[in-house]
A and B are shown apart, each in its own frame.
Chain A
């Protein structure tokens, strides 16, 4: 089977699982990742529910396995721009953005980052813009590949042609290469597995919740970065240098919500909120935590128990979604109708965390266009429950959140299923 070659699009946990399974079945794999490192959303997380083990500990070894596996070719900063059917396979044009750093030379020593004049001036996407980075950087310390890159937009030399180029001076192995250009690769693949993943709902439009306008209103993912050791505060839960004591979580923000056009349940927010409550209780002993919910969907293995433990540890659940969040002298005030008691309650808090729902990744639409994949009404790739990875195009399979919200365990299983279907297709 050595001449068979499969393209995996997306380097999150779904794509990683799929690539490793394919390789173990003897198939050659090319993995495309749009960003500078694989790891996807999962690597942004601090811990995972319901076991509370750290995300890095479970995922980074898999990332390294991808990098080391001789059957897997990893292309970062790369996306397909054209997919054409050719016999039973596909001719794919891949656009590879320049890294401006020679991967074969970079030793990831980090001197360039310290030297960069833009140090601490560019918003860091990996930290949900909560921290600032230089123009030459590595997205997070455990990134795979372990290579620095220059962000063309942020780099003064690339964007304006003017910089003293301190990075070049400090780089011992001479890895920085401003002459790199965008490359277009043309390849043939026998089959494709797409796993572009998801984005989170941007709650700015929900003015009443104050996201983007009030200090102390965060999204779940932002809070996740605040908890993380690799995050902006080194894992200390701190806002503007102070440790908050009072937390208020609001669930179903942008899920089960006709207003925002998302009627579906995002499947992970109930549990990640419970997880956040656990993390807070662990690090801030006297924290006061409220969680507003509609239904608590603790459906997976060990989830119900996790939810119960969260309640038993002193987190208050309030049934009802707040009408508004307002600024007060000492912080924030949440107004909510508690549906169980029928009362309107006003709760003072330091932080409001919005458990934002899931949306298809922004690149999914483009991907569907170039591959002629059908989408459902929300923009997820359309599949059928008895054949959960089959798309409308034969030979192209989907896994992970791209076909609808899933937790990590379900994502892993769906990646395995996509590989099964792909292997069947290849054997036909």
Chain B
């Protein structure tokens, strides 16, 4: 067998803590190694050209790429190997970045670890077999969870593109948080109007099925053919969908867990959301004193909300502006840490409201003390370094975004992951900001982290395009890592059949052996570990593959 090893420097990332020359020197002398190459970026065009030409030149039977982890660039490298005329399943990726150069600082130790990791790749890939990806039909339909602005935007796009859409919303009506906003910045429209316009549009599309007051109760299947059960007062409806967009939004932070703010105790303390809803019923008049507190439920590690909620600074400014517009002689003071008015037009908005007389004070507020005459704010002015106490008639808390209430439940049903703040975790924070690790399942809008309206719409529609790109052909390829049975070894004990969660193993009464239904097999390998006679094996993860990987890792360098 002719094996080629390709070692990536990844710029500094690998090279600075792994001795690349040392690695090359070690492997050059070994049996069956036809070539050992290195390059600053294997994933770049010259790097890829190097791999391709080496495969052709040396007639390689195995390609070992020692670079970043397998989750990155796998499809690209597979296509590259395929183009060079080698079965893509004879490619082995070895992670010497995420699992070596980045986790240790000692060059000598890292190099020795990298040698073992690469060796594990060589030993185990010796047992690889050429495999073929399976073509499966995909359903041109999509399930969208959450009928807020992000989900609605996604639904409208998909439906117009000819995809059957099932839009599930747990509330009575569509629209999410935007529906309740009196004044949506920067378009300066009522949220209700925006939502109603979008709802009307969705209703004209006859391939959108809207389920309000409904929820997802079960979920299964695989890409192209996910099975979802939606439950509402009318009972349960089962749908088969090609893909899913999760857009379940956020929960507004509840400030009552910070008792020092008196929220829920004193009626004169309200949130920005409440201000939007009952702006005109508030007990304020000319001359009233209003305080606005930023970062309530954001940038606060003590209560487990270390992140910035991205929208509350603008909300705070908008609140101040609304009061100032109505009562020119009111006294409105905003207490902030940093003013993050970063959206388009936000900075100008911030400056203009300051000119209207809104005051901004950089301060930490420690508590609100309710008194007869008003609410006393006690805090420290961080610019002057002085403690202060000031009295106000109304305090508006600019609340942040908390993870959606159903995050745990949806994550459990769909088998997707939450991040450390309990929002959904994206596949890559920059280049795949709305993908999950699962094919055909996307996360859009604020359920993956705070966003403003424009960003939520972008997210919803961009994820919809991505899903459409996956579904529009009507078929897709899936990985061939399924179990198979060696009929000569199978004794017909049926232990694997009992263990199989997917019920993919069927017993053949005539031959007295089992066989695997490939379409149903999920590829977990439980049967492989259960079989007492090594008769059933998972492709790509056979016993010999893992056995030799263990040997390679334990053997001396």
Residues of A participating in the B interface, judged by any CB pair closer than 8 Å? 17, 21, 24-26, 46, 48, 50-51, 54, 56-65, 67-68, 108, 141-146, 228-230, 235, 256, 263-265, 267, 295-305, 308, 319, 339-342, 384-386, 388, 403-405, 408-410, 412-417, 419-421, 423-424, 427
Chain A residue with minimal CB distance to B98? Answer: A53
Chain B residue with minimal CB distance to A108? Answer: B46
Contact B73 A417 (CB under 8 A): no
> Looking at the complex, which one of A62, A141, A230, A416 makes contact with B462 (CB distance below 8 Å)?
A416
Shortest Cβ distance from residue A421 to the other chain B in the assembled complex, whole angstroms: 7
CB-CB < 8 A to B429: which residues of A? 50-51, 301-302, 409
B431 at the interface (CB under 8 A from A): yes
Given A295-B338, A303-B308, A304-B307, are A142 and B383 neighbors across the interface (CB < 8 Å)?
no
Contact A62 B457 (CB under 8 A): no
Chain B residue with minimal CB distance to A228? Answer: B11
CB-CB < 8 A to A296: which residues of B? 338
The 5 tightest CB contacts between A and B, nearest first, are A416-B462, A24-B469, A142-B44, A295-B338, A229-B11
CB-CB < 8 A to B454: which residues of A? 385-386, 388
Which chain B residues numbered 28 to 51 have a C-beta less than 8 Å away from chain A? 40-41, 43-49
Given A26-B472, A256-B347, A427-B161, are A54 and B13 neighbors across the interface (CB < 8 Å)?
yes
Bound-complex Cα distance A267 to B344 (A): 9
Contact A60 B41 (CB under 8 A): yes
Bound-complex Cα distance A357 to B344 (A): 14
Bound-complex Cα distance A146 to B49 (A): 10
> Looking at the complex, which one of B13, B157, B469 makes contact with A424 (CB distance below 8 Å)?
B157
Contact B430 A408 (CB under 8 A): yes
CB-CB < 8 A to B44: which residues of A? 56, 60-61, 63-64, 141-142
Contact A299 B340 (CB under 8 A): yes
Contact A299 B308 (CB under 8 A): yes
Given A142-B44, A340-B382, are A413 and B187 neighbors across the interface (CB < 8 Å)?
no
Could you list 19 further interchain pairs (A-B, Cβ under 8 angstroms) beyond the known A64-B44, A417-B462?
A: A17-B431, A25-B472, A48-B430, A56-B43, A57-B10, A57-B43, A60-B41, A63-B45, A64-B48, A141-B46, A229-B12, A264-B348, A301-B448, A385-B187, A386-B187, A413-B459, A416-B462, A416-B466, A420-B465
Chain A residue with minimal CB distance to B149? Answer: A386
Contact B449 A301 (CB under 8 A): yes
Residues of B participating in the A interface, judged by any CB pair closer than 8 Å? 9-13, 40-41, 43-49, 68, 72-73, 76, 79, 157, 160-161, 186-187, 194, 299, 306-308, 310, 338-342, 344-348, 351, 382-385, 423, 426, 428-431, 433-434, 448-450, 453-455, 457-459, 461-466, 468-470, 472-473
Contact B157 A413 (CB under 8 A): no
A sample of 26 cross-chain residue pairs with beta-carbon separation below 8 angstroms, ordered by A number, consists of: A51-B429, A51-B430, A54-B11, A57-B10, A58-B428, A142-B47, A263-B347, A263-B351, A264-B344, A264-B347, A267-B342, A297-B342, A301-B426, A302-B307, A303-B308, A341-B385, A342-B383, A385-B344, A388-B457, A404-B344, A405-B342, A410-B458, A414-B462, A416-B434, A416-B458, A423-B465
Bound-complex Cα distance A384 to B339 (A): 23
CB-CB < 8 A to A308: which residues of B? 306
Shortest Cβ distance from residue B543 to the other chain A in the assembled complex, whole angstroms: 33
Bound-complex Cα distance A386 to B11 (A): 40
CB-CB < 8 A to B308: which residues of A? 298-300, 303-304
